[in-house]
Chain A
């Protein structure tokens, strides 16, 4: 019996590792084939599988418990086969779904639901096995919960390692092997039929190893569109946990973003560079070639004065570094956190990118830009931020992408780092309806106001081409000589000044006419101190963003959807804010699936007494509270650790390990009062909400190992107590109404699905601090519940 227990622990750890590794693989697969707004979608899908499994357990508990011996390996085998096959099914048989078509193609919602259902299957079968073990081992739930959490933590590490070595679509078969091994360790003592099924499973998994699925990229991904060009080929490809890198060559690819209509020089051919299928730039031109970027609005700061020291944040492919060197600056510090990107470019583009790394004027820093800003003590004559938006109307697509360099806090830090004559420059693609340039200007003006600058307009200059607008914020007011330089630069390249301290209205549209005057009306409102009215009345959110809500590209105001529909057409409106609306639709689909698969069957279930609501509120509160906490903490630590993937791995890993420890500790508790621990969790979360941001900002300059250590120390106490209310509640429920144990497990899963699906949408509206407070509120709901008969 002891041996069986140990094997079950091992099996539980293996299948948990398989499912979590698959979850991480799925995150990157969907980020590559679709967009990053499917991150919470993946978490919800996993939880949906767990919730649906809880329901099935509830309905078939006695039958399953009686057949647990053969059932457990069979369920794990089914999970393994699903792990090996669902990627192929969703990418192949269904032709993939395309989130951009959700609003225009009939049936695309059904396809999304079908994809969600299929992707749920490995989690469903795996969770059935996990739940069955939990059900029959309730009194030793602590140690099994520990094995579950330990395996999950291991799985997150394996997933990250796998993504660093292999393509995401190649990894599901390896996850399947883990799940199959979980089933194999439980095979002793089972019959011949079970062994035959396991053998079939092994054959299918082995076949999938040699025939991995192909990722079906959305036709609207930058990479898909680029590969459609004549003779386009992928010349370099590197898997990476932080996002896989592609370099594409085609004879028709040229680099000249926003170049002047007066430019008569050559447009150098280039190669395009992508991370997870999204274009991040092109290779910098060779030094011998005239750089068309010098004839774009990006060159505005060099027209004002030649800086000596330049800081390039999120340097990417190095085009801004190359331009700075071409302008004969003294030194350049380039900060780029994506190490695999830098490494791939160094190897594959030694003449264009590689020279930047070897130039003695350039220092290349592989760290997150916010970390560098916090740590670095130098001042700069010019600080260059990465461009905002893109050509081709994709502004709304990145609504849920966090941009910590564009928050008020970041702007203030950048302002502090400017020399007396120093400038901050940033370029936005002009969008319509106008959003990006308006929020950018509002952020800069509010920064100046915060810094006590009496007349912000004396410090801001902007010029506009047909497609881009570049803004330069100067530490000291522009001199008349500098303004003459700007006007001469604009005239030479047929640009129009958009903002100057002494700008005349007739100067604004000499060369490049816009469809209407809205850009200028909005700009005037910002510089004329009518910002509050603008923030209140404009159809879009254009006020500056903060570290607590760092969604610079999120402009949607749910309450103004009707106004937007009247202004731009009801069918066009979705294209303006696709990111948010797609995430909203995905959340809706998952909520419907969760209700159908988890809640609905349970409503008709006979209960012991009429106290099902107690289980609903207690375990539902825990589910929502846990997921909101997890997602809020992941996002807070993205800012701290610099890379989403590090933050996700660290937070999930610490929460799982801590919760596992907490649950293991509960095995020794003789007094079962779970609400006390739920109250402790709620109190801890309130403390986090109040103190975490300041603590993280104060310690941001620490080196990465120091930040990781501190992060673990910060997270661990909450993680340990967060692991206690669930197993304690289960044990208590088992004593008073044992038939509701699987139901409790299911309802926890269902509300975790909904919680994860809506967490980011809530954070966009209220910020991460308030999301933590809401999570504490969810735990307080559990605090308020008492199970009848528990005394």
Chain B
């Protein structure tokens, strides 16, 4: 009889251990720069991204601070991760690829449509670019804004709004990054792009 009673306790203990595993990992990992270096070398440089500013930003920005606590253990994996509200933080390679294409840097003004976790905005800011980012979902916008502030990316300008209208007060932009899934590109965004400016949109 006693053996029968033990079994649920053991199962409960195992489940508890499993549930607490990511929390434990999160607390133990304050500096994960070595993982970032490996991520850049194996996932990004190996796939052809070469822009020094982009690579430096990818090595510098602590991606694990932009993912939910339960995901921090997997922050440097080669995959997108869920951040809530049906949204994801993009795979590191995609972030680097999109960043490299628009050549961000000091003096460049960039608009991001879809702040999400705030990671892409932080990468752009780390290159020295002037970053404006808009998020339509208040929960995501507040969380991203707080993280950006906490991590010192306080020059990133954030706004909770419908990205359809862009950010006319700060237009024109050298580049516009659309990181949210969209079935059309709003005309106001095109109007806010400089001549010869670049817009990059993820498809598929």
Contact with B along A293-331 (1 / 0, CB 8 A): 000000000000000000000000000000000000000
Query: Which one of A249-257, A377-385, A689-697 is at the interface?
Result: A249-257
The answer to whether A569 and B78 have CB atoms under 8 Å apart is yes
B41 near A: Cβ within 8 Å?
no
Contact with A along B1-30 (1 / 0, CB 8 A): 000000000000001001101100000000
CA distance A285 to B91 in the complex (A): 37
Contacts of B15 in A (CB 8 A): 107, 110
A219 near B: Cβ within 8 Å?
yes
Contact with A along B61-105 (1 / 0, CB 8 A): 000000000110110011111101110000101000100000000
The answer to whether B184 and A259 have CB atoms under 8 Å apart is yes
Contacts of B204 in A (CB 8 A): 393, 395, 429-434
Task: With A107-B19, A292-B184 as known contacts, state yes or no: A572 contacts B91, CB within 8 Å.
Answer: yes
Task: With A292-B184, A572-B78 as known contacts, state yes or no: A106 contacts B18, CB within 8 Å.
Answer: yes
| 8 Å CB contact of A225 from B85, B162, B164 | B85
Contacts of B91 in A (CB 8 A): 569, 572
Task: With A105-B70, A229-B136, A259-B184 as known contacts, state yes or no: A570 contacts B78, CB within 8 Å.
Answer: yes
Query: Which one of B124-132, B145-153, B185-193 is at the interface?
Result: B185-193
Please name 5 further chain A to chain B contacts, defined as beta carbons within 8 Å, in addition to the given A104-B71, A230-B162, A391-B181, sorted by A numbering: A106-B21, A256-B183, A265-B187, A431-B204, A467-B201
Contact with B along A703-716 (1 / 0, CB 8 A): 00000000000000
The answer to whether B85 and A267 have CB atoms under 8 Å apart is no
B117 near A: Cβ within 8 Å?
no
Q: How far is the CB of A11 from chain B (nearest CB, A)?
A: 32
Q: How far is the CB of A94 from chain B (nearest CB, A)?
A: 12
Contacts of A258 in B (CB 8 A): 183-184
| 8 Å CB contact of B203 from A104, A106, A221, A391 | A391
A466 near B: Cβ within 8 Å?
yes
Number of B residues contacting the other chain (C-beta, 8 Å)?
Answer: 40
- By Cβ-Cβ distance, the 4 closest A-B pairs, closest first, are A571-B79, A392-B181, A432-B204, A431-B204
Contacts of A363 in B (CB 8 A): none
CA distance A395 to B203 in the complex (A): 11
Task: With A107-B18, A575-B79 as known contacts, state yes or no: A391 contacts B182, CB within 8 Å.
Answer: yes
CA distance A258 to B201 in the complex (A): 12
The answer to whether A263 and B203 have CB atoms under 8 Å apart is no
B54 near A: Cβ within 8 Å?
no
Q: How far is the CB of A176 from chain B (nearest CB, A)?
A: 27
CA distance A229 to B86 in the complex (A): 12
Which positions 104-128 of chain A face chain B at CB distance < 8 Å? 104-107, 110
A515 near B: Cβ within 8 Å?
yes
Task: With A395-B204, A429-B204 as known contacts, state yes or no: A228 contacts B185, CB within 8 Å.
Answer: no
Contacts of B138 in A (CB 8 A): 230
B137 near A: Cβ within 8 Å?
yes
Task: With A230-B136, A395-B204, A572-B80 as known contacts, state yes or no: A256 contacts B184, CB within 8 Å.
Answer: yes
CA distance A106 to B17 in the complex (A): 11
Q: How far is the CB of B82 from chain A (nearest CB, A)?
A: 6
The answer to whether B85 and A466 have CB atoms under 8 Å apart is no
B43 near A: Cβ within 8 Å?
yes
CA distance A269 to B164 in the complex (A): 12
Which positions 45-104 of chain A face chain B at CB distance < 8 Å? 100-101, 104
Contacts of B183 in A (CB 8 A): 256-258, 391, 467
Contacts of A220 in B (CB 8 A): 86
A480 near B: Cβ within 8 Å?
no
22 A/B residue pairs, CB under 8 Å, sorted by A: A101-B82, A105-B70, A106-B21, A106-B22, A106-B70, A225-B86, A230-B136, A230-B162, A251-B162, A261-B199, A267-B184, A267-B186, A292-B184, A391-B182, A429-B204, A432-B204, A466-B185, A569-B93, A571-B77, A572-B79, A572-B80, A575-B79
Contacts of A219 in B (CB 8 A): 82, 84-86
Contacts of A257 in B (CB 8 A): 183-184
The answer to whether B203 and A569 have CB atoms under 8 Å apart is no
| 8 Å CB contact of A261 from B93, B162, B182, B190 | B190
Contacts of B202 in A (CB 8 A): 393
Contacts of B162 in A (CB 8 A): 230, 251-252
User: Which of B18, B97, B181 gathers the greatest number of chain A CB atoms within 10 Å?
Assistant: B181
Contacts of A393 in B (CB 8 A): 181, 202, 204
CB closest chain-B residue, reference A436: B204
User: Which of A252, A263, A432, A467 gathers the greatest number of chain B CB atoms within 10 Å?
Assistant: A467
Contacts of B93 in A (CB 8 A): 569
Contacts of A429 in B (CB 8 A): 203-204
A684 near B: Cβ within 8 Å?
no
A224 near B: Cβ within 8 Å?
yes
Which positions 205-232 of chain A face chain B at CB distance < 8 Å? 218-221, 224-225, 228-230
CA distance A574 to B204 in the complex (A): 14
Contacts of A196 in B (CB 8 A): none
Contacts of B73 in A (CB 8 A): 106
The answer to whether B80 and A575 have CB atoms under 8 Å apart is yes
The answer to whether B19 and A430 have CB atoms under 8 Å apart is no
User: Which of A229, A432, A571 gathers the greatest number of chain B CB atoms within 10 Å?
Assistant: A571
Q: How far is the CB of A231 from chain B (nearest CB, A)?
A: 11
Contacts of B181 in A (CB 8 A): 391-393
